[in-house]
Amino acid sequence: MLKYKQLQNFNLINSLRNSHLALLIMSAMFLLCLGNDANAQITINKSVNVSTAYVGNTVTYTIQYSYLSTTDPFLLNASITDQVPTGLQNVAVSSALGTINFNPVTNMATISFGDLPAGTTGDVVITGVVATSAPPNSVLTNQATLSGTNGSATSNQVQTTVLASAGVSMYKLLMSPGMENQLSTLIQGESASYGFFIANGGNTPLSNACFSDALPNPDKLVVTSIGTGVWNNPGSLTTANIEYTTNLNGAWTPLSGSPFNVNVNSVVTPSLASGEYITQVRWCFNGDMPVGMGQGTPAPRINITAAADTPLGDKTNCINFVATGVNVLACVDFEVIETITTSVPGVNKYGSAYSLAIRAKYRFYLRDRK
């Protein structure tokens, strides 16, 4: 009888223990279901406008998010974080909701919402420009996360491949002889300089790089000297050959002293025969032109003097930059104008006569007369 009673008590205790364990398991499953529901109702998707891009192109990421939980009225302390690829610069972030913060040092974008109400949907747009520092064939990978105290979700991953970009920025100016001022006109009998401004703004070195200038009216706009210029960020490139052709010799002739150190400016007067004048000048680098290399101060230049009988009117002078896979042309337009000197008689305050010389610039235009 005692053994039977003890067995009943044992069964009761086991039954109570099993019931308590079942309750704990059910409670845990209930809480787990609540958490799963919260996570299941957080969605975030990402898209990108381009799968490939060159240096200087704009990449646009669009983030679409929503919080649609039916059990939790808020996603507590909610925020979107996005680690923007370091290959992008000039990053901009826009969102109709939340407070935007972008750290340009870490390239981390954060949109803070506080407590995000259930039923909220929205978009975030992030734009950036492919930087010169982005290596060719590198992949810009990006994704974003929407998270809060009671749940989180991470978007799909998007990628953009950076293409090799031989980007040359180049322009040419007609300058005063000291390169202080830009000119739009050149007076007969006066001097000026053609200034060259060139940089490798791409993301890949340029091989076999040369730039040349075929001079307009070379018998009247006469080359007097050539300034080799200096170059910033040349890397391991140390020298450049400078050559010219003339009306008497169409072959490229090295300028005296060539090759020239790219870190040292030299002004060289070509040695020419009587009646000989320069028709073309070119610079060729002895090695690859690295990314970021560009003209320094002083810039390379060709110094000219306009003969007194230089034909009046508009002139165009162009520079042609050629490298492997690159062929770029940049031109400058200017006008040759006439100077007339005349004397104007007068009397000073002491009664003495004088003659004042006035130098005037004239532009001549043809008009129909009826």
Same domain assignment for residues 103 and 220: no
Q: Quick one: average pLDDT of 194-218?
A: 92
pTM: 0.59
Same domain assignment for residues 191 and 315: yes
Q: Quick one: average pLDDT of 173-196?
A: 91
Domain boundary among 138, 162, 186: 162
Residue holding tokens 């646009």?
60
What's the total number of domains in the chain?
A: 2
Instruction: Answer whether residue 236 is part of any domain.
Output: yes
Same domain assignment for residues 118 and 255: no
- Is residue 146 within 8 Å of 152, Cβ to Cβ? yes
Instruction: Answer whether residue 1 is part of any domain.
Output: no
Backbone phi, psi, residue 311, to 5°: -55, 135
The rounded distance, in Å, linking the Cα atoms of 302 and 300 is: 7
Instruction: Answer whether residue 13 is part of any domain.
Output: no
- Is residue 335 within 8 Å of 363, Cβ to Cβ? yes
Q: Quick one: average pLDDT of 205-222?
A: 94
Same domain assignment for residues 78 and 105: yes
Does residue 108 register a pLDDT over 50?
Answer: yes
CA geometry: angle at 94 spanning 90 and 97, to 5°?
A: 155
Same domain assignment for residues 57 and 175: no
Same domain assignment for residues 180 and 105: no
Same domain assignment for residues 230 and 88: no
Tens-place pLDDT, residues 120-172:
999 999 999 998 888 888 999 999 999 999 999 999 999 999 887 667 888 99
List the structure tokens of 202: 């791409």
Q: Which are the contacts of 245, defined by CB distance < 8 A and separation ≥ 6? A: 251, 252, 253, 278, 279, 280
Domain boundary among 162, 187, 212: 162
Same domain assignment for residues 99 and 229: no
Tens-place pLDDT, residues 27-46:
444 444 444 445 658 999 99
The rounded distance, in Å, linking the Cα atoms of 166 and 204 is: 6
List the structure tokens of 68: 């649609």
Instruction: Answer whether residue 358 is part of any domain.
Output: no
Same domain assignment for residues 177 and 240: yes
Same domain assignment for residues 177 and 275: yes
Q: Are strands 185-187 and 326-347 parallel, antiparallel or unpaired?
A: parallel
List the structure tokens of 234: 């040349």
Instruction: Answer whether residue 217 is part of any domain.
Output: yes
Place 193 in a pLDDT band, splitting at 50, 70 and 90: very high
Does residue 340 register a pLDDT over 70?
Answer: no
What CATH number is associated with residue 54? 2.60.40.740
Instruction: Look up the domain containing 293 and give its range.
Output: 168-339
Query: What is the separation of C-alpha 269 from the centre of its chain, rounded to a whole number of angstroms?
Result: 37
DSSP state of 249: -
- Is residue 113 within 8 Å of 76, Cβ to Cβ? no
Instruction: Answer whether residue 7 is part of any domain.
Output: no
Q: To which H or E segment does residue 282 belong?
A: strand 278-285
**What SS3 class is residue 81?**
strand
Same domain assignment for residues 100 and 243: no
Q: Quick one: average pLDDT of 100-116?
A: 96
The rounded distance, in Å, linking the Cα atoms of 198 and 232 is: 11
Q: Which are the contacts of 54, defined by CB distance < 8 A and separation ≥ 6? A: 130, 162, 163, 165, 167
Per-residue model confidence (pLDDT) at position 342: 56
Same domain assignment for residues 189 and 323: yes
Neighbours of 211 (CB within 10 A): 23
DSSP state of 299: P
Instruction: Answer whether residue 308 is part of any domain.
Output: yes
* Percent above pLDDT 70 for the chain: 80
Find, among 153, 175, 170, 181, the residue nearest to 210 by Cα.
170
Distances (CA, A) of 84 to 121, 143, 159, 238: 22, 8, 12, 37
The rounded distance, in Å, linking the Cα atoms of 55 and 167 is: 8
Does residue 201 register a pLDDT over 90?
Answer: no
Instruction: Answer whether residue 306 is part of any domain.
Output: yes
